[in-house]
């Protein structure tokens, strides 16, 4: 019997079951099926329009994540349509409409949401007390607009546990409080870990919640007082589908004082990350090493350093940081950016070689990352200033030529400078012999750009070396901040906006 020969009610049932992803192909098989599927196509288009890119700020209530759970309780298909989820409600507290009438005032609606939550497979699998979980969600509702609230949202975790086709996620800034190793977060961790463990288990029938997530987006602002432990997102990095990580104001420094240590919780498990972009972050060599030694497929690494609250990493070891990346991922990285947003202190050790990146094609650096003695010299600048006995003290004149530091694979190099003393000496050292290196070794180097902030006084140095001077916000009445000069930072903002929209 042909498909169209089936009873009408069976055809309709099959068409209903084809949502969300089968209806478009099925309806195109023939005109008869397309005509029969009119209602399903309309329903599909409406659900896709409304829910493919979901957020929790579309109602009069702030952080209305519970509202999404209500929508799923009313129409379970909603969960399957959500591909991008933005949970950062940036509205002010004064924008809350306290008089809004919604499902929270309807006992039947709340009972329906509770049934959805307490029957969630990930909670049952984890052996979590579902009544305690629901009580936690109700408590969160009561403190939803409390600026001093530091709890990690079980409401958010519940929602994540229902989304089998989610691909892109932006968490709420409150996620910065999540510390998986602290006992007080045992309940949310049990739920989240159950979701992640289930996502890593293959299911041939249908994808499981979070099993399709590819991208994590930033959930913090940049700034001295803004900081979120890198540890807070570590559980998501265990997802087998994750490939891109974008963060702002992440901290991974084990200084026993103002930093937050980072530890990979599952040593035998490697992540599938291919791209890591960390803007305005505060991470030392040990912190980044603990991450990248579990990223065997990494091809793109971009980082801007910002010292954080109470001077965390006010002296930063750029040389050790880059050496650590090279040690673990040097053979796979093709794009590398190392820049500085804010550094109150010194470069403890400078970058002195990039030859351990044999496939590197694109490089962007701030000139300042070279302005410190090489790691192997035994010297250090900053608070723990060190010069070995009998050694000549390092100066900017000792910076190697950028050409001698680069691998032969390089195609483009960008160097950002504010070009004031001592940048002038550093730039002169960095560009010496560049022409010779291009002739003898760097045959693939197509562009070497010197980017200067609001000026062009470095033009002579650039032209003498055969490089191109690019000015940033020259003759602009209100130039952008210096930390936006790096090309990768501007591309970062554009990429994040595009992924969210």
The pairing of beta strand 244-248 with beta strand 228-229: unpaired
Rounded distance between C-alpha atoms, residue 221 and residue 195, angstroms: 28
- Examine the pLDDT at 29 and tell me if it is beyond 70: no
- Which pLDDT score is estimated for 194? 97
Choose the final residue of a domain: 171, 189, 213.
Answer: 213
- Which pLDDT score is estimated for 144? 66
Tokens of 113: 């949401």
- Which pLDDT score is estimated for 8? 58
pLDDT in tens, 42-75: 777 788 889 999 999 988 888 899 999 999 999 9
- Which pLDDT score is estimated for 419? 80
Tokens of 261: 């240590």
Tokens of 30: 């023939």
Does residue 217 sit in helix, strand or coil?
strand
**Structural domain boundaries enclosing 197:** 52-213
What does DSSP assign to residue 145? T
Query: Is residue 160 located within the same domain as residue 26?
Result: no
Q: What are phi and psi of 65, to 5 degrees?
A: -70, -35
- Examine the pLDDT at 473 and tell me if it is beyond 80: yes
Query: Is residue 264 located within the same domain as residue 342?
Result: yes
Rounded distance between C-alpha atoms, residue 186 and residue 190, angstroms: 6
- CB of 390 within 8 A of CB of 422? no
CA nearest neighbour of 483 among 223, 219, 216, 220: 223
Does residue 26 sit in helix, strand or coil?
helix
pLDDT in tens, 234-267: 999 999 999 999 999 999 999 988 999 999 999 8
pLDDT in tens, 310-343: 999 999 999 999 999 999 999 999 999 999 999 9
Query: Is residue 275 located within the same domain as residue 195?
Result: no
Query: Is residue 234 located within the same domain as residue 88?
Result: no
- Examine the pLDDT at 88 and tell me if it is beyond 70: yes
Number of structural domains found in the chain? 3
Most confident of 146-155, 398-407, 415-424: 398-407
Query: Is residue 104 located within the same domain as residue 243?
Result: no
What does DSSP assign to residue 146? -
- Which pLDDT score is estimated for 59? 87
CA dihedral 93, 95, 97, 98 (to 10 degrees): 20
Tokens of 359: 């496939």
- Which pLDDT score is estimated for 16? 56
pTM value is 0.92
Tokens of 165: 């086709």
Query: Is residue 122 located within the same domain as residue 182?
Result: yes
Query: Is residue 399 located within the same domain as residue 453?
Result: yes
Number of Cβ within a 10 Å radius of residue 276: 24
Peptide bond just before 422 cis, omega within 30 deg: yes
CA nearest neighbour of 416 among 365, 475, 491: 365
Rounded distance between C-alpha atoms, residue 32 and residue 92, angstroms: 52
Query: Is residue 296 located within the same domain as residue 164?
Result: no
- Percent of the chain's residues with pLDDT above 70: 88
Rounded distance between C-alpha atoms, residue 11 and residue 33, angstroms: 9
- Examine the pLDDT at 15 and tell me if it is beyond 80: no
Band of residue 34 on the pLDDT scale cut at 50, 70, 90: low
Query: Is residue 338 located within the same domain as residue 400?
Result: yes
Query: Is residue 438 located within the same domain as residue 382?
Result: yes
CA nearest neighbour of 87 among 57, 127, 107: 57
Which region holds residue 295: left if phi is over 0, alpha if psi is between -120 and 50, else beta? beta
- CB of 151 within 8 A of CB of 140? yes
Which region holds residue 380: left if phi is over 0, alpha if psi is between -120 and 50, else beta? beta
Query: Is residue 195 located within the same domain as residue 265?
Result: no
DSSP letter string, 455-495: --TTHHHHHHTT-EEEEESTT-SSPPPGGG-SHHHHHHHHH
CA nearest neighbour of 219 among 27, 55, 33: 55
Choose the final residue of a domain: 186, 213, 240.
Answer: 213
- Which pLDDT score is estimated for 100? 76
Segment (H or E) for 46:
helix 38-51
Band of residue 20 on the pLDDT scale cut at 50, 70, 90: low
- CB of 455 within 8 A of CB of 206? no
Query: Is residue 113 located within the same domain as residue 228?
Result: no
Average pLDDT, the chain: 91
């Amino acid at each position: 019997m042909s498909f169209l020969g089936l009873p009408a009610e069976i055809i309709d049932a099959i068409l209903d079951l084809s949502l969300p992803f089968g209806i478009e192909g099925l309806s195109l098989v023939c005109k008869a099926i397309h005509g029969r599927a009119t209602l399903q196509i309309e329903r599909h288009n409406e659900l896709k329009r409304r829910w493919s890119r979901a957020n929790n700020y579309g109602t009069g209530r702030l952080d209305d994540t519970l509202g999404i759970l209500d929508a799923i309780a009313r129409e379970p298909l909603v969960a399957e349509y959500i591909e991008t989820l933005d949970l950062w409600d940036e509205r002010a507290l004064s924008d809350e409409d306290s008089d809004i009438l919604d499902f929270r005032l309807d006992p039947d609606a709340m009972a329906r949401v509770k049934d959805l939550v307490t029957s969630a497979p990930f909670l049952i699998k984890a052996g979590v007390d579902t009544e305690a979980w629901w009580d936690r969600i109700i408590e969160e509702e009561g403190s939803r607009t409390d600026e001093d609230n530091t709890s990690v949202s079980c409401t958010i975790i519940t929602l994540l546990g229902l989304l089998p086709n989610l691909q892109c996620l932006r968490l709420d800034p409150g996620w910065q409080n999540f510390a998986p190793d602290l006992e007080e977060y045992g309940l949310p961790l049990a739920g989240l870990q159950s979701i992640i463990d289930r996502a890593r288990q293959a299911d041939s029938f249908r994808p499981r919640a979070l099993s399709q997530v590819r991208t994590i987006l930033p959930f913090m602002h940049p700034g001295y007082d803004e900081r979120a432990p890198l540890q807070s997102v570590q559980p998501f990095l265990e997802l087998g589908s994750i490939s891109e990580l974008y963060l702002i104001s992440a901290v991974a420094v084990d200084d026993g004082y103002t930093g937050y240590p980072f530890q990979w919780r599952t040593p035998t498990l490697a992540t599938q990350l291919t791209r890591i972009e960390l803007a305005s972050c505060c991470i030392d060599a040990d912190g980044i090493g603990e991450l990248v030694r579990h990223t065997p497929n990494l091809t793109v690494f971009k980082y801007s350093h910002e010292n954080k609250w109470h001077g965390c990493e006010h002296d930063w070891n750029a040389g050790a940081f880059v050496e650590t990346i090279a040690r673990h991922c040097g053979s796979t990285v093709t794009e590398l950016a190392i820049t500085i947003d804010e550094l109150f202190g010194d470069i403890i050790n400078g970058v002195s070689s990039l030859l351990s990146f044999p496939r590197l094609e694109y490089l962007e650096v701030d000139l300042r990352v070279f302005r410190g003695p090489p790691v192997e010299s035994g010297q250090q600048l900053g608070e723990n200033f060190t010069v070995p006995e009998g050694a000549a003290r390092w100066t900017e004149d000792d910076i190697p030529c950028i050409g001698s530091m680069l691998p032969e694979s390089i195609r483009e190099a960008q160097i950002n400078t504010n070009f004031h003393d001592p940048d002038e000496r550093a730039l002169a050292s960095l560009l010496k012999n560049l022409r010779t290196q291009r002739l003898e070794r760097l045959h693939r180097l197509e562009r070497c750009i010197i980017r200067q902030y609001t000026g062009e006084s470095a033009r002579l140095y650039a032209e003498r070396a055969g490089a191109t001077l690019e000015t940033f916000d020259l003759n602009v009445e209100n130039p952008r901040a210096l930390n936006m000069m790096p090309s990768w930072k501007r591309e970062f903002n554009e990429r994040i906006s595009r992924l969210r929209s």
